[in-house]
Amino acid sequence: MQIHFGPDPGKVLDDGETVAAMKDAQKEGKIVLLGASTGGGIGRRCIESGDFDVLQLGYSLLSRGDEALINLCGERGIGVLIRGGLGGGRLTPRVIPHLDRLDSNTRTKITTLLELLDGDPDKLVALALRFLYRDPNVTSVLAGSKNAAHVRKNLEMLELDMDESLIEQAIQVC
């Protein structure tokens, strides 16, 4: 069971009712693992509370703000479920027709990544997924899809042979 905190996550944690109900359900065997969809300071509080087995964190090559939380989860044996790992579509071929609508910083990063990938927008997916799965603290990645063909394509891209130095260059770009 995973909690999505809403507009005032600090209040939800301070009140403790929701987490207590989740823990009761876990004790009764109704659920196995407790999770929280969060990040930042609230994510740190969730980790330090010891109440959660899994954290869902927003993280991608383009958005690495919760990297320290991912590492802390690894140290504490807490699973990490990544959301936004494909950068909200910005690390997929779908970004190409929309490059001119992106802020200049993001546009520069993506065009530089495309240069590293010899202009192949399909390889953006491979790069994004490889970046995530190379981290031993990442348990799983939510990669949204509307059909089975997209899922198969993402799996193909994950298996694409990619040199580690390319990933390191991409990290420097972003």
144 or 40, which is more confident: 40
Could you tell me the residue range of the domain that residue 169 belongs to? 88-135+147-174
The reply to whether 140 falls in a domain is no
Q: Do 104 and 27 belong to one domain?
A: no
Q: Coil, strand or helix: which one is 135?
A: coil
Domain count, the chain: 2
Do 65 and 100 lie in one domain? The reply is no
Tally the C-alpha atoms within 13 A of residue 115's C-alpha that lie toward its C-beta: 8
Looking only at the bridges linking them, the beta strands covering 35-38 and 2-4 are: parallel
Q: What pLDDT digit, counting tens, does each position of 96-155 carry? A: 999 999 999 999 999 999 999 999 998 999 999 999 999 999 999 998 778 888 888 888
Same domain, 76 and 104: no
Residue 172 lies inside a defined structural domain of this protein: yes
Which pLDDT tens digit goes with each residue over 53-89? 999 999 999 999 999 999 999 999 999 999 999 999 9
pLDDT at 162: 87
Res 1 pLDDT > 80: yes
Q: How is 60-94 classified by DSSP, letter by letter?
A: BTTB-TTHHHHHHHHHHT-EEEEESTTGGGTTSGG
